[in-house]
Structure 1
């Protein structure tokens, strides 16, 4: 199969694309490369630098399946430039789906977000609950979902609402909870937790990327699926880290009391089984740090890096 991965040079793309290549697929990684490119060359891999907002620049010739990962990722980054966030995460998705339909592409896998639900009081957040997105990022994800579902009679549409992803990737992210707390312990010798009682759902990066492969293998599985398997408080994650790096945990007040728990029973009923846990992610990050594979660098924090580069010219 020829697969286009938008956002292919991102956090998830760097783990997903080698798996696609190992399975014998031909892959196009399409990305602005704001955060660089660490993909290894491969005879079946084409890396194309480009902007998903420019529909005519997206290479779709001969493509059988689109895995659409491109977006302005996370709430603070989305708020930097709301207009750009809507263009990248909503309008570009609409244009891509429309072009895919016209070209007869029959497979479209979309990476939405578990944050589309907003703040929920329900102990288990399931796919049938009303969506109340709060931030620009959440709102664009909801709109993109609605757009794609309108094409369900033209192509196989598979929408994933991932929990917070954790674990090592060559294009690392240190602004997501598990990764951030682990790096704090490694580089600062202490962990600072704001509030701590907030519960967040999590999924290992190997499991979310395996899920995209699973969906490719199962075109009969369509619609929207939550993907998060460990609902853990921020403080409990910090304490988990200290099992491996014995550092103090400082708890300070937080103005963000939001807690939410994602229920993924619908996904588990399809036969998909996660293989890794948060604790695996913590151990893998520690190992990569000790080997010198990753360091605590600005380029691994989306907001900080975008402020320094995308909105302030190019990095020196």
Structure 2
């Protein structure tokens, strides 16, 4: 299978692409490379530096399936430049979907976000609940989902609403909760928790990438799927880190009330099973750090890096 992966040089993409290549797929990796390119060269890998906002430049010749990961990731980055966020995360998705449908591509996997639900009181946040996004990032994901579903008669549309991803990747991110708190413990000997009662759903990076691979193999699984298996408060995540890296935990006040929970029973009913946990992610990050393979650098923090003006 020949697969186009947009955002292929990102946190999820750099873990996903090697798995696709290992399956024997041919991969076209399309990315603007704001954060560089950590993909290992491979005979079946073509890396294209480009901007998804220019849909006509995205190579679709011979493509059997698209995995669309490209977006401005997380709330702070989305709010940094709302116009840019809408152009990349919503408008570009619409243009790519339209072009894919016109060119007869029959498979389209879209990476949305578990945060599209907004703040919910329900303990079980299932796919049938209303979407009430509260940030530019969440809103663009919701709009892009609706665009994608409008093409459901033209191609197999598979939408994933991932939890917060955790664990090590070639293109590392240290601005997501588990990874960030683990790095704080390793470098400072102290974790600062703002509030702490906010709940975040989590999924290991190996599990979310395994899910994309499974969806390629199961085109009949159409529609929307939550993907997250551990709904844990920020304070409890800090305690899990402390259990592996003894550290001081300092709790301060927070004006951020956002709590996200998701229920993934619909996904589990397909036979998909997660193989890793938050504790696995913490342990793996510790090992990478201790081996000198992971350092606390600005390029691992999306907002810091974008504030340097890498985006255009």
Task: Provide the TM-score with structure 2 as the length reference.
Answer: 0.99
Aligned to 2:159: 159
Residue 120 (str. 1) matches residue 126 (str. 2): no
> Quick one: distance in 2 between partners of 1:202 and 1:89?
22
Equivalent pair of 2:114/2:260 in contact (CA under 8 Å) = no
Aligned to 1:207: 207
Aligned to 1:187: 187
Equivalent pair of 1:123/1:260 in contact (CA under 8 Å) = no
Aligned to 2:145: 145
> Quick one: distance in 1 between partners of 2:244 and 2:309?
35
Aligned to 2:170: 170
CA-CA distance at 1:244 after TM superposition? 1.1
Equivalent pair of 1:121/1:260 in contact (CA under 8 Å) = no
Q: 1:241-294 deviations in whole A, cap 9, x for unaligned?
A: 111111110010111122221000000001111000000000000000011111
CA-based RMSD = 0.8
Deviating runs (4+, > 4 A) in structure 1?
none
> Quick one: distance in 2 between partners of 1:172 and 1:44?
23
- After TM superposition, the structure 1 = structure 2 runs for residues 60-71 of structure 1, keeping only pairs within 5 Å, are 60-71=60-71
> Quick one: distance in 1 between partners of 2:94 and 2:259?
31
> Quick one: distance in 1 between partners of 2:78 and 2:197?
25
Aligned to 2:268: 268
SS of corresponding position for 1:92: helix
SS of corresponding position for 1:243: helix
Aligned to 1:86: 86
SS of corresponding position for 2:244: coil
**What stretches of structure 2 of length at least 5 have no aligned partner?**
none
> Quick one: distance in 2 between partners of 1:251 and 1:78?
26
- After TM superposition, the structure 1 = structure 2 runs for residues 1-316 of structure 1, keeping only pairs within 5 Å, are 1-310=1-310
Equivalent pair of 1:108/1:158 in contact (CA under 8 Å) = yes
> Quick one: distance in 2 between partners of 1:47 and 1:184?
33
Between the two proteins, the alignment pairs up a number of residues equal to 312
> Quick one: distance in 1 between partners of 2:257 and 2:85?
25
Q: 1:145-164 deviations in whole A, cap 9, x for unaligned?
A: 00000000100000000000
> Quick one: distance in 2 between partners of 1:297 and 1:108?
34
Equivalent pair of 1:179/1:282 in contact (CA under 8 Å) = yes
**What stretches of structure 1 of length at least 5 have no aligned partner?**
none
> Quick one: distance in 2 between partners of 1:205 and 1:143?
25
